[in-house]
Copies of this chain bind each other. A is one copy, B any other.
Amino acid sequence: MKQNIYDNPTFFEEYRKLRDSGINYNNFVEQPAFKETLPDLTNKKILDLGCGMGEFTRYCVTKGAIEVVGVDISKNMIDVARQHSSYAEISYINSSIEELKLPIGYFDVVVSSLALHYIKDYSDAIKKVNNCLKKGGTFIFSIEHPIVTARKKMDGWITDENGDTLYFPVDNYQEEGERTQFWYIDGVVKYHRTFSTLINQLIINGFQLEQLVEPVPIKAGLDAMPKIKNELRKPSFLIVKSTKLEGRDN
């Protein structure tokens, strides 16, 4: 059974409030850096794995994409995405990444924003992406940073008796696997993987690494959300840009 926290009513309501407010790490840290890594999307066919409420699929169309497929495990999310989208270029599939069937060598660009840390079998997901990409195509994904997912007790920054932030605790780094966290609801499961696993699995499965980004907050974020300055002390996200090797068979 794949985890589907976004169809939990409590989680979905809180998450939607967070995204609708505009005051969040996505808007101020992850998405600006993610968008900077994109190639020219004009006339491109794009797959968005974990498309959520469809903000990014719509963004792709405004940048000239001719076909965008958004995939999400959550029916709630896909329903919102469809309500907001009147673009003929976009279609949505309500499926887990694990159960998804995709055409071979079809897409120019595959993106996945903050979804792959929910996937148990990372290597299988990478193989799937490689199969559905054209040779030379681009795969860009973001995930929670290994520094953040490492410690099994995922309770965040260590503070002193005055509540001042001291440092971020790392532990259990080499023990990959499930991490369970409270995030609006109990029992949200993420998967910790080391840097080396994240990058080596890409390379082993036919990608060439192009760029890594550990994003820092944009200026507007520092103004609107003061605690975001802690991003300079510890990265929350890792963005990985890669290319499907030309010599790779489909």
Residues of A at the B interface (CB closer than 8 Å) are 147, 150-151, 158, 166-175, 194-196, 199-200, 203, 208-214, 216, 231-235, 238
Contact (A212, B195) CB under 8 Å given A147-B147, A167-B151: yes
Question: When A and B form their complex, which 10 residue pairs have the shortest distance between CB atoms, in order from nearest?
Answer: A167-B169, A196-B212, A167-B171, A174-B232, A168-B170, A209-B209, A196-B214, A171-B233, A199-B212, A173-B234
A233 to chain B: closest residue by CB:
B171
A199 to chain B: closest residue by CB:
B212
What residues of chain B lie closer than 8 Å to A150, measured between beta carbons?
Answer: 234
A210 to chain B: closest residue by CB:
B203
B195-A231 in contact (CB<8A): no
What residues of chain B lie closer than 8 Å to A214, measured between beta carbons?
Answer: 173-174, 194-196
Main secondary structure of the interface of A (DSSP, over half): mixed
Among candidates B147, B195, B203, B216, residue contacting A170 with C-beta atoms closer than 8 Å: B147
Among candidates B167, B174, B195, residue contacting A195 with C-beta atoms closer than 8 Å: B195
Q: Give CA–CA (A172, B172) in the complex, Å.
A: 21
CB of A141, distance to nearest CB on chain B (Å): 14
CB of A70, distance to nearest CB on chain B (Å): 28
What residues of chain B lie closer than 8 Å to A199, measured between beta carbons?
Answer: 199, 209, 212
Q: Give CA–CA (A194, B237) in the complex, Å.
A: 13
Q: Give CA–CA (A174, B232) in the complex, Å.
A: 5
Q: Give CA–CA (A151, B232) in the complex, Å.
A: 11
Q: Give CA–CA (A235, B158) in the complex, Å.
A: 20
